[in-house]
Amino acid sequence: MTTPAPGPDAPRTTHLGVPTMAMLVVGSMVGAGVFSLPRQFAESTGAAGALVAWGVAGAGTLMLALVFQTLALRRPDLDAGVYAYAQAGFGEYLGFFSAFGYWASACVGNVTYWVLITSTLGAVFPALGSGDTLLAVAVGSAGLWVFFAVVRRGIREATAVNRVVTVAKLVPIVVFVVLAVVAFDPAVFADNWGGSPGSGTLLDQVRGTMLATVFVFLGVEGASTFSRHARRRRDVGRATLLGFGSVFALFASVTIVSYGILPADDIAGLEEPSMGGVLEAAYGPWGTTFVSAGLVVSVLGAYLAWTLMAAEVLFVAARGGDMPRFLGRTNAHDAPVPALAMSTALSQAVLLLTLASEHAFDFALELTGALVLIPYLLAAAYGVRLLRRDRGALVVAAAATLYTAWLLFAAGVDHLLVVFVVYAPASVLFVLTRREQGRRWFSARERVVLAVSLLGAVAGLVALLTGTIQL
């Protein structure tokens, strides 16, 4: 069901320009991952493999970004971004799953941010441990609800904060690149060109880095999610490409310049954030402190951006009749408070679960990527259907679809089964929505999708209970 055009009684819409929307893309993509890129790449590859890996990941993600740009221009009536494209192409139920999966991914990802913040601060305050102690959870919980209070003041106020935080968190990363270029040693870089002796072939090295690139590029669709707030529809595509291009250059630079500072084996052995270790090797102990401070600011900025997007997805889905009506309400500041509260509550619940699971942080990070890949895949596949008469655009959409399908396959069976466990119970919200509208709960085709999701969820639960899959 397409989101209806706002009527005279619709809440006022805040209009955002290209710079602000591009900042939302950058803010959502530049999180904690960039600070660990040197180690993540050095564990698998040398400088040559890193260049190839960034070329592959950059090209694939660029195809996805171009699809979002084209869809924003070809279907300006779809102003919910990823969720709306899945719905238009594959029906209400899969559209609902896309909205729910995207929202759940944002909420789960937000938990990892608070664990990282408290873990980083644990170097100064030992009681915070690795971000999984009672005090760490208490600090993270307080942060969740402080940001809830910020965002409920409205989209304009929240995005203004996001602009400031995004600029602030980019400063240490840019400074790192500049300082690393100054200290760059061509001889060290040459020694790192082929990687460690046990790294395998170039193809093996590139494969080893691919999952790292999946997570750092999450958020490329940020401007599309906020398309209802754009001054002009073409601004959505411009903001997406501007944000992606800036982030790609930053990520690749952080990775490549590190190979000119330390041997690859030494980089692979650094503690996180490995950017700090690289800077410390070149300039002394203050490097780690500087990068750790930047990590805290960066994670806070990413958390704000993803909180905005999570609430926006629920809000627009409810306004379009695809989520319960109460999630479509706004306050006097045009902030979707019920959707925001539900998002914060889910993050709070998952944060509490970190106390009971030894590996919750790592698994949550991977689950975040697995959850969001299904909405990405459906959006790209819709691009193939919509653009089949435009050969150039069709090639781009097909490439994006193949790329996201491969990433979903690369996530592995374990993660896919847990995704089913998360998705299947969400059908309760779908049923509640249909009841509000006095409609039949499921069509014949939707019952097939429901059956598949339930079977996958049962298989996932059995695997979890038997220990085949461990959190």
- Per-residue pLDDT of 333-343, as tens digits, reads 778 889 999 99
Q: Are residues 417 and 405 in the same domain?
A: no
Helix (H) or strand (E) holding 268: helix 264-268
**Residue 288: pLDDT over 60:** yes
- Separation CA 368–CA 403 (nearest Å): 18
CB 411 within 8 A of CB 366: yes
Q: Are residues 425 and 404 in the same domain?
A: no
- 209: in domain: yes
Single out the residue of 128, 129, 86 nearest to residue 401, CA to CA.
Answer: 86
**Mean of the per-residue pLDDT values for the chain?**
81
Q: Are residues 49 and 169 in the same domain?
A: yes
Give helix 413-423 / helix 444-466 axis angle, nearest 10°. 120
- Separation CA 417–CA 48 (nearest Å): 35
pLDDT of residue 5: 36
Q: Are residues 458 and 312 in the same domain?
A: no
CB 112 within 8 A of CB 256: no
What's the pLDDT band for 141 if we cut at 50, 70, 90?
very high
What is the rounded end-to-end Cα distance, in angstroms, of the chain?
Answer: 36
Give helix 360-386 / helix 391-411 axis angle, nearest 10°. 160
Work out how many domains the chain is built from and give that number.
2
Most confidently predicted of 293-302, 321-330, 411-420: 321-330
Q: Are residues 386 and 460 in the same domain?
A: no
What's the pLDDT band for 419 if we cut at 50, 70, 90?
confident
Q: Which amino acid is at 59?
A: A
- Separation CA 251–CA 60 (nearest Å): 15
Q: Are residues 357 and 456 in the same domain?
A: no
- Three-class DSSP labels, 234-269: HHHHHHHHHHHHHHHHHHHHHHHHHCCCCCHHHHHC
- Separation CA 263–CA 26 (nearest Å): 30
- 229: in domain: yes
* Tens-digit pLDDT profile for residues 242-269: 888 888 999 999 999 999 999 998 998 8
Single out the residue of 81, 100, 229, 99 nearest to residue 154, CA to CA.
Answer: 229
- Separation CA 364–CA 362 (nearest Å): 6
How many residues does this entry show for the chain?
Answer: 471
Q: Are residues 434 and 308 in the same domain?
A: no
Span 26-49, average pLDDT = 83
**Residue 413: pLDDT over 70:** yes
What pTM does this model have?
0.79
Domain extent at residue 386? 18-411
Strand partners, 100: none
pLDDT of residue 267: 92
**Residue 12: pLDDT over 50:** no
Span 400-422, average pLDDT = 83
